[in-house]
Amino acid sequence: MTETQTEIPKGSYAAGERVKLPAGAEPPFTVFINGIEQPKGSYRIEGGEIHFGRPIVKEKVGMSRWLAMYLGLFGTYRKNETIDLQFSRGGKVDLRSDLPVIPYAEGEAP
């Protein structure tokens, strides 16, 4: 499997490969996926966005699954990646968790 290929397990989907930087975010940037710091070459900062070399995988949650979780019948154990970012803003260190993934354009998904 190459760097741009990611296994998409059943119940999950490729959400996109980019997230927008928070307003006023300045270097140094530390990027985390599911709490694991990512090496510098696995992403790039360009045009106010973080671009990853692979899709970010999110969980599909339909109405029946959401209702069952809400009622406490069961939880969820599907792959659902979260993007966190540590950065500088106004001379202070800041952290944003679970940044929204910019969805693929129509027909662009892998």
Tell me, what's the pLDDT at 11? 73
Distance between CA atoms of residues 5 and 1, nearest Å = 6
Task: Return the higher-pLDDT residue of 25 and 105.
Answer: 25
Residue 41 lies in a domain: yes
State yes or no: pLDDT of 70 exceeds 80. Answer: no
Q: How many domains does the chain have?
A: 1
pTM given for the model: 0.77
For residue 93, give the nearest of 34, 31, 28, 20 by alpha carbon.
28
Residue 94 lies in a domain: yes
Tell me, what's the pLDDT at 67? 60
Tell me, what's the pLDDT at 105? 84
- The share of the chain scoring above pLDDT 90, in percent, equals 58
Number of neighbours of residue 17 by Cβ within 10 angstroms: 22
- Write out the two tokens for 10: 């059943």
What's the domain range around 59?
12-102
Residue 59 lies in a domain: yes
Task: Return the higher-pLDDT residue of 94 and 77.
Answer: 94
Residue 89 lies in a domain: yes
Residue 109 lies in a domain: no
**Predicted confidence (pLDDT) per residue in 5-54, tens digit:** 567 777 778 889 999 999 999 999 999 999 999 998 999 999 999 999 99
- Write out the two tokens for 3: 């760097």
Tell me, what's the pLDDT at 4? 44
